[in-house]
Amino acid sequence: MLEYIISKYNFWVYIILLLIGLYAMLGKKNLVKKLIGMNIFQSAVILFYVSIGVKKGGATVPIFMGDAHAAHGHGQAIIDVASYINPLPHVLMLTAIVVSIATTGVALAVLILIFRRYKTLELDEIIKIRKDTGV
């Protein structure tokens, strides 16, 4: 059992982080907290993707080692697939990180708009103000 848990520990970590993020997004009353949760949530997904790319057994970072020009000249025979980590998830996650930070940026701008209007960032207070003023 322990073996089983340890053998997939990064998956467990990603699940825990995802749930922490999700909880903060749904359950926290402070809007900034929600955004912090959103960041955690998104980085959990990124962690999951990065974990997909991992190869055990001596694989290294996906940057070609050795003489690039020589390899370029002699074809691909020397490149061993097993010795490099799968680069595709990394590519995807570069995009995802940028997307996540862009979302955060937009969300923070909206947050400032909300603060200008309601002078508070607590969900329950905002809802109360909305109810009172009919806005």
Rg (C-alpha) for the chain, rounded Å, is 22
- Angle between helical axes of 88-118 and 123-133 (0-180°, round to 10): 50
For the bound state, the minimum distance from the C-beta of residue 47 to another protein, rounded and expressed in Å, comes to 7
Whole-angstrom Cα distance, residue 67 to residue 13? 38
For the bound state, the minimum distance from the C-beta of residue 133 to another protein, rounded and expressed in Å, comes to 8
Binds another protein by CB under 8 A, chosen from 104, 128, 131, 132: 104
For the bound state, the minimum distance from the C-beta of residue 65 to another protein, rounded and expressed in Å, comes to 8
118: how many CB neighbours lie within 10 A of its CB? 17
Q: Which 75-94 residues touch another protein, going by CB under 8 A?
A: 75-76, 79, 81-82, 84-94
DSSP-derived 3-state class of residue 38: helix
Pull the structure tokens for residue 100. Answer: 């996540």
Site string for another protein, 32-71 (x = CB under 8 A): xxxxxxxxxxxx-xxxxxxxxxxxxx-xxxxxx---x--x
128 lines the binding site for another protein (CB under 8 A): no
For the bound state, the minimum distance from the C-beta of residue 5 to another protein, rounded and expressed in Å, comes to 10
